[in-house]
Amino acid sequence: MKKTPSFEDSWKVEIRRGILQYAVLAIVSRHKEEGIHGYGLARELDEKTDGLLGVKEGTLYPILHRLRKERLLNVRTEKSEAGPVRKVYVLTGDGDRVYRELTSILGSIFDKLEALR
Amino acid sequence: MSSREIAQIVEDYLKSVSRVLTSGFETEDMLEELETHINEAFQNKVQERPLANKIDLLREVLNDLGEPKEIAEEFKRADVLLQGPEEDDRRTFWLVVRFAINMVIAVVAAWFVSTLPDAGVSFYWALVVFLMFGLA
């Protein structure tokens, strides 16, 4: 029998989805000059958040794809240690602007939420 | 356990992902990225735990990546978010254009067939047949 997810589980999924795009922009922003590849991004996300977001690494690629289409990320290629060429993501000018704007919005949201507690 | 066995497991996984995604250039692009990710993650795990069973390490990598269904769901979601009303309008426009082109081709083909001396096919009968082919 299929178990219905609890309210907290569904809520976490929704929150995670929204935050994940921001987290990806934040990590790429930390590597402004050299950029970062998909695997590196997945590792850094896991390390920096102690796995709190519980992200399946494969689901990061559709998010990267969307952010590229929105012209927030650019891609260049480099040779990977594993052999084949890999994509390296860098923030575009628009990406940098959006990231800073989202950071400010998130800061305000957390401040207001703090006041509610 | 051989490198061929490892390559086969990776290939099977990528095929499963490919099956649940719509085909297209972007899907191919993402599959390539997933393959690079798997290779890097696997090599990294082998370096960190050289004595561990390599198949187990590969299974860990694939488990960290997630079920193909989960990746496909996220991919579809990202695509839906990218497609606003403008994209819907564009799609409708191309559907109408395609239908109009099919109609013209069907009429011309039906006229041509009906004028053949030995065919014995009426214009309207030929038109219905060609339209059915065109819409299929």
- Residue A68: the pLDDT is 93
- Residue A4 included in any domain: no
- Residue A1 included in any domain: no
The residue-averaged pLDDT of B25-44 equals 89
Domain boundaries, chain B: 3-82, 86-135
| Interacting residues of B52 by C-beta distance below 8 A, sequence separation 6+ | B45, B46
Question: How many domains does chain A divide into?
Answer: 1
Q: From the list B26, B36, B66, which residue is nearest A80 (CB)?
A: B36
Contact A58 B65 (CB under 8 A): yes
What is the ipTM metric for this complex? 0.82
Range(s) of the domain holding residue A76:
12-116
On chain B, the residues whose CB falls within 8 A of the CB of A56 are: 64-67, 70-71
Contact A61 B71 (CB under 8 A): yes
A90: β partners:
A74
- Residue A33 included in any domain: yes
- Residue A43 included in any domain: yes
- Residue B87: the pLDDT is 57
The residue-averaged pLDDT of B80-88 equals 57
Evaluate whether B130 touches B106 at the Cβ level (below 8 Å). yes
* Band (B81; pLDDT cuts 50, 70, 90): low
Question: Looking at per-residue confidence, does A49 or B26 come out higher?
Answer: A49
- Residue B1: the pLDDT is 57
- Residue A26 included in any domain: yes
* Band (B85; pLDDT cuts 50, 70, 90): low
- Residue A2: the pLDDT is 62
- pLDDT tens track for B87-119: 566 667 777 888 788 888 888 888 888 888 777
Evaluate whether B59 touches B5 at the Cβ level (below 8 Å). no
How far apart are alpha carbons B128 and B107 in whole angstroms? 9
- Residue A82: the pLDDT is 61
Q: From the list A38, A69, A83, which residue is nearest B82 (CB)?
A: A69
- Our measurement of the distance from residue B93's CA atom to the centroid of its chain's CA atoms, rounded to an integer in Å, reads 22
- Residue A83: the pLDDT is 66
On chain A, the residues whose CB falls within 8 A of the CB of B16 are: none
Please identify every stretch of chain A with a pLDDT value under 50, giving residue numbers as ranges: none
φ, ψ of residue B51 in degrees (nearest 5)? -90, -10
- Residue A50 included in any domain: yes
Closest of B77, B35, B33 to residue B58, by C-alpha: B35
* B130's tokens: 């060609």
Contact B81 A66 (CB under 8 A): yes
**Residues A88, B4, B57: CA angle, nearest 5 degrees:** 60
- Residue B68: the pLDDT is 93
Q: For residue A45, what is the domain's CATH number? A: 1.10.10.10
Please indicate if any CB of chain B lies within 8 Å of the CB of A22: no
- Residue A2 included in any domain: no
- Residue A90 included in any domain: yes
- pLDDT tens track for B57-80: 999 999 999 999 989 888 887 765
Q: Is the pLDDT of residue B83 over 70?
A: no
